[in-house]
């Protein structure tokens, strides 16, 4: 197991124990079902999942080396966790990860923007990033205004549009996404069964009001090189020149 800055880490996982409860497991089952269909089916040399080590969501994907990362002490984490690190300081080389899953990481980390920059550096060109998070514009977000101290309502609840804008600034291209769970929070099994019609009709009648968003994006690398039309110059390529010795005129001739 790899450890990174263990002395400065909290003693527990970044995610609360609520995810191990009945309601939390039901939510994770819905997220897992969505991720099975949304994650592109391709070969990934290295995959990284941060948080929820008991949910090995990369096991069904074509991943050669799976890294399950979380923060905290090794004795407190799930046995599947093989990397201990903070999401703001991943001990990974640049462009070393092909698939990254941040499961509610932005909801509970200290600096969401820094986490996105960190994972952007770790992802290889054309790498796939998957994010899940709680959405404030939902029934869960409405209840959060009344009881913020109760998990998972004490999470950060970042708007999906805010996350999308930040990913766009970092050069990510959207691939897929969806909303999950249109019911109230903290429902037992009986009430979830009774209100299942809300999930069935949510995608149709109020598709932007789900409690959880799922975003799948791909890292794009854009070149700053702009190749102009060289037909007017009468040459196939621009000639090499030293800007200190010559000045390129309109038609490619040097001016003293």
Question: Do the domain assignments include residue 85?
Answer: yes
Question: Do the domain assignments include residue 249?
Answer: no
User: Domain count of the chain?
Assistant: 1
pTM: 0.75
- The least confident of 113-117, 172-176, 209-213 is 209-213
**pLDDT per residue as tens digits for the range 134-158:** 999 888 887 777 776 777 878 888 9
- The least confident of 13-22, 45-54, 106-115, 124-133 is 13-22
Question: Do the domain assignments include residue 244?
Answer: no
CATH number (domain holding residue 83): 3.40.50.150
Partners of 177 in beta bridges: 215
Most confident listed range (64-78, 121-135, 194-208):
121-135
Question: Do the domain assignments include residue 243?
Answer: no
Question: Do the domain assignments include residue 252?
Answer: no
**pLDDT per residue as tens digits for the range 205-235:** 556 778 899 999 999 876 555 545 544 444 4
pLDDT exceeds cutoff 90 at 250: no
Question: Do the domain assignments include residue 59?
Answer: yes
Question: Do the domain assignments include residue 246?
Answer: no
Structural domain range at position 112: 2-224
């Amino acid at each position: 197991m790899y450890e990174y800055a263990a002395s400065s880490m909290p003693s527990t996982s970044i995610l609360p124990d609520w995810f191990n409860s009945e309601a939390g497991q039901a939510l994770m089952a819905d997220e897992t079902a969505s991720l099975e269909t949304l994650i592109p089916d391709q070969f990934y040399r290295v995959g990284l999942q941060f948080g929820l080590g008991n949910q090995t969501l990369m096991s069904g994907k074509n991943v050669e080396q799976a890294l399950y990362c979380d923060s905290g002490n090794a004795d407190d984490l799930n046995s599947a966790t093989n990397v201990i690190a903070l999401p703001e300081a991943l001990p990974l080389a640049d462009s070393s990860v092909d698939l990254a899953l941040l499961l509610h990481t932005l909801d509970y980390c200290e600096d969401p923007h820094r986490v996105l920059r960190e994972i952007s550096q770790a992802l290889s060109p054309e790498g796939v990033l998957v994010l899940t998070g709680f959405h404030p514009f939902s029934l869960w977000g409405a209840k959060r205004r009344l009881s913020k101290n109760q998990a998972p309502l004490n999470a950060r609840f970042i708007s999906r549009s805010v996350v999308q804008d930040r990913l766009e600034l970092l050069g990510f291209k959207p691939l897929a996404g969806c909303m999950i769970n249109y019911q109230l929070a903290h429902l037992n099994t009986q009430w979830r069964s009774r209100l299942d019609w809300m999930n069935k009709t949510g995608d149709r009648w109020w598709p932007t009001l789900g409690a959880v968003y799922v975003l799948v994006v791909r890292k794009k690398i854009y070149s700053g090189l702009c190749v102009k039309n060289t037909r007017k110059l009468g040459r196939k390529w621009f000639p090499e020149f030293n800007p200190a010795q010559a000045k390129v005129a309109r038609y490619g001739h040097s001016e003293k």
